[in-house]
Structures are given as C-alpha cells and as structure tokens.
Amino acid sequence: MKDLHAIIIGAGIGGLCTALALQRAGYRVSVYEQASELGEVGAGLSLSPNANLGLHYLGLKHALAEIGHVPQSFGIKHYQTAETLVDNTVEMTRENASGAPYYMVHRADLHALLSAAVLSEDPNCLHLDHDFRTLQQGSGQVTATFSSGVRAAGDLLIGCDGIRSTVRAELFGAESPRFTGYIAWRGLVPIERISEKLLPESGICIGPGKTITRYLLGKRKLVNYVAVAQRKGWEIESWAIHSDVAELLEEFQDFHPSMRDILAATPPESCYKWALFDRDPLPKWSVGHTTLAGDAAHPMLPFMGQGAVMAIEDAVVLSRCLQASDNLDEALTRYEQARVERSTFVMLESRANIVRLQGADPDAYNKQSHKNEQRLGLFDYDPGQVAI
C-alpha cells in the first residue's frame, strides 16, 4: 500500500481534491483530463463549513481564506414583494463547531488553488487531452485506455469524471438520466453594473415553480446568480450554452424589480443555461480496484449547494481509508461504508428541496417548512475526523 499508484480520471475540483489528498497521504498519483487546457467555468461556488474542514485538512486553510468571501447575511425572500420569509443569517454565517467558516468563492479560483497544490507535489502528474474510453482489471492492476490509444496502468483507478462519468458507465453500465423538468440559468454580474442599493445579500428569492439564488463573490467583485424554472422543451445538459438575457428576463418577468435588475445587468457573454438531469443513487461505487468519487458517484442537483462539497469530503475520506487499511479491498469497503449513506441522503434532500422552495404558495413558506443543509446537520461533519 505504501507504493500505491492511483490513476484519477478527471481534473475538475473533485479530481484535483482527490489527487491532492492522496499525494499528501504519500501516494503516487497520475491525473488524466480530457480537456486540452486546465481550467474551470466562470461561476460562483458555495463552500459550507464541512467542505472547508476538508480543505483545511489538506493544508489549504490560509490559501482558501485568500479567495473566499464570508457572506454577511442569508434570507429566503418572496418573489413578488421581496419580503423576507425566513432569515437564517445567524445559523448560516456562523463558524461551525470546529471553527470552519462558510465561504463563497469563484469556481475558477478554487480550481487554480487546487491545481497549483497538486502540481507543487508532482509537476509531472497531470496529463491533459486524454479522453478516457475503457478500463481493464486483472493481476492486481487497473489499465485505462484513452481515445488516442494511450494506455495507463496503476494499482487503483478513481473515476472523478463528473455527472456524465464514463468510468461509472464502465463499472455499472450506461444509464439514461432523467430530465427533472427544470432549466437553470447562471450569470456573473460585475458589481459596478448594479446600483449599490441592489447589491444582494446571499439568499434565495422563491416563487411558484421558480427561484433565484444570488450571492456576492467579494474577492472578485461579482454577483453570482442561479435562476431555476420549471420548463420543458429544452433539454441540453451542458454548462457551456449561452443564453440571451432577454429570454431570462421574460422567464422571470413576475419577479420583484430588485431581482430583475440584477438579471438585466448581466453582460451578454456571461449568461448561460442548462437543463437539470437526475440520476438515482448507487448502492455501491467500487468494482475490483476501481471506484468513483464526486458527481461520478453521486451527482447532485444544485438545490443545497453541496455538489463540490461532497466531492471534497469524498477525497479526504478516501485518502484516510487508504492509509488505515492493509489492502485495497479493505480500503474501498471502508470508503463506501463511510460515504454512500451520507451522500445518498444529501442527494435525496437536494432533490426534495426544490419542491419545497418552488411551492405553489410562497406565502406559506416559513421556519417550520424551511429545511436547508445547516438545519439537516451537514455543516458539522468533519471528513478528516469522521469514523472510517
């Protein structure tokens, strides 16, 4: 186990976290990414305290504080009146019991931080322009084959290749995801394009069949939003499809001007939309010496802000399971026992949360019906200390 060589498919946030966790545990890692350039999309990302405990465990506490913005308030607001229905500022802005804050970060900043840390451990570990196709297992090794014909062998292969994971399909068969009936728009608005009185606190504006989540990326001086509407007839699952701002404004024409003015300020090149698809939870993630992590294992709908968070937790727990075990079979069994139940719970609660938020009568939404990630007890989970 000390000489373990792990192959990681995918160099997104989950893949790089997994690589760094394994490197810091003393293992050799090779990361293969299909893109020809390393980078991330321009979007905001919420990192709740449970994620930040994992990043602290990886030695990134001070660097994370440099890129993270601590929000000053949280609230659930009525879509027409902008009245605050639930104020959960105190519980969402406090540090958790272990002293980890809640951060809002630019996804690209976190990705750059992770890639720099991984490459500082091993400048030759990252291989771009490698499109994974198949894997073979036998004689104690896992061999990955890429579309170019290149083959790479290691002791362990970890699929961190996202919601459309080819590794997952290789292990458990291809599946047809279900369209949820929701379309999402995302945008980044420079704060100088918005009146100072409209600069948003963090929170969600809820209406029948529609929500707008918005928050400030203070270090980037940007407002990030995700607007979600129930709508059929457009079902493209990609984060890279541009949308017309006029289409977005038409969809949310009945929302309060304070919300619409933020949408209207979106630069034309910064508005994107995608269809939201869902997968059912997997009861197990590993076959032989191949396993899954992040969205490849448990694709999350974005209604609790826990997608990247769960990938960070996976990375830390997997590295600890490898260190604590005598062989790979034991390590992967421990990993699944520690992670499958929790991630499945978060998947299902994320799925249920949009139903609560987009109910027919937003006036009835109150503290009794409100059920977010903090109230579900997710924030105090420490991936560096949890039992494995």
Specify whether the CB–CB gap between 337 and 19 falls below 8 A.
no
**Tokens 């104020």, residue?**
87
- Torsion of Cα atoms, 350 then 353 then 354 then 356, to 10°: 170
Q: Pick from 374, 220, 218: which is nearest to 306 by CA?
A: 374
Which structure tokens are listed for 37?
């350039």
Options 57, 79, 102, 215, the catalytic residue: 215
CB pairs under 8 A, 24+ apart, for 255-259?
A: 255/79, 255/80, 255/205, 255/207, 255/210, 255/212, 256/77, 256/78, 256/79, 256/80, 256/81, 256/82, 256/205, 258/82, 258/198, 258/200, 259/79, 259/82, 259/205, 259/212, 259/214
Helical segments of the chain, H only? 13-24, 49-57, 61-67, 89-93, 107-121, 166-172, 245-251, 257-264, 307-324, 328-357
Residue 215 among the catalytic residues: yes
Nearest-angstrom CA–CA distance, 237 and 30: 28
Residues carrying an active site annotation: 215
